[in-house]
Amino acid sequence: MWLFSRKGPSGFSASSTAEEVTQGIDGTGLTAIVTGASSGIGTETARVLALRGVHVIMAVRNMAAGKDVREAIVKEIPSAKVDAMELDVSSLASVRKFASEYNSQGRPLNILMYNSFGAYGQSKLANILHAKELAKHLKEDGVNITANSLHPGSIVTNLFRYNGILRGFCNTVGKLVLKNIPQGAATTCYVALHPQVQGVSGEYFSDSNIYKPNSQGQNMELAKKLWDFSMNLVK
């Protein structure tokens, strides 16, 4: 586990868990939307934010699964404020319906955590570029909102659960280099709540530390093209 023991400037490492990076932080009064909260990293993120006093809105496609997760969190943390709302991020109609319903409830929104899925390499790059361009627009508009992207790390449970041979490998060697779910949710919770990240925008995080992406991830021309394309899609 020596690979995971190297701490970065933040004081945390790849082996840090979501609970560890938020230890002592009080999120009371904050409201967060967490997409993909019905399984894996999304569930752990929702649980730890609720543990720290944040009012968590789980935005989930499967409401039955979301209800089960909510009940499990409240059973563990009786004081938790957790609600589930239906959202399919692959459908613009669903996104618009969710936004309309959320706004009609008059709730504040302090944290939006988007857990992306799909073609992994492309979606990862798109998230990095989008966060950089969004941060640029927010700064130009003089809005006190930050936007960052992150890489949770390779999670053994999610990546290899369907392949018997790879699962066997992960149960042995993989445990030394791959993260479990509490470790995988750490960077998400760190960026959401830790005072070290206050005011930081347009950055890319990995292992609960600021990390420099590759040259493509720093290509602002490509970021603008992606932004313009996205704006055209959503009109």
Any idea which residues carry the catalytic annotation? 114
Helix (H, G, I), strand (E, B) or coil at 131: helix
Report residue 93: phi and psi, to 5°.
Answer: -65, -40
Q: Which residues pair with 34 in a beta bridge?
A: 58, 113
Element containing residue 84 per DSSP (H, E): strand 81-86
- Rounded Cα distance between 224 and 40, Å, is 32
Q: Which residues, in sequence order, are bridge partners of residue 206? A: 151, 209
The structure tokens listed for 10 are 């933040």
Instruction: Please enumerate in sequence order all residues whose Cβ is within 8 A of that of 135, keeping only pairs 6 or more positions apart, or say none.
Output: 146, 147, 148, 201, 202
The closest alpha carbon to 24, from 139, 193, 162, belongs to 193
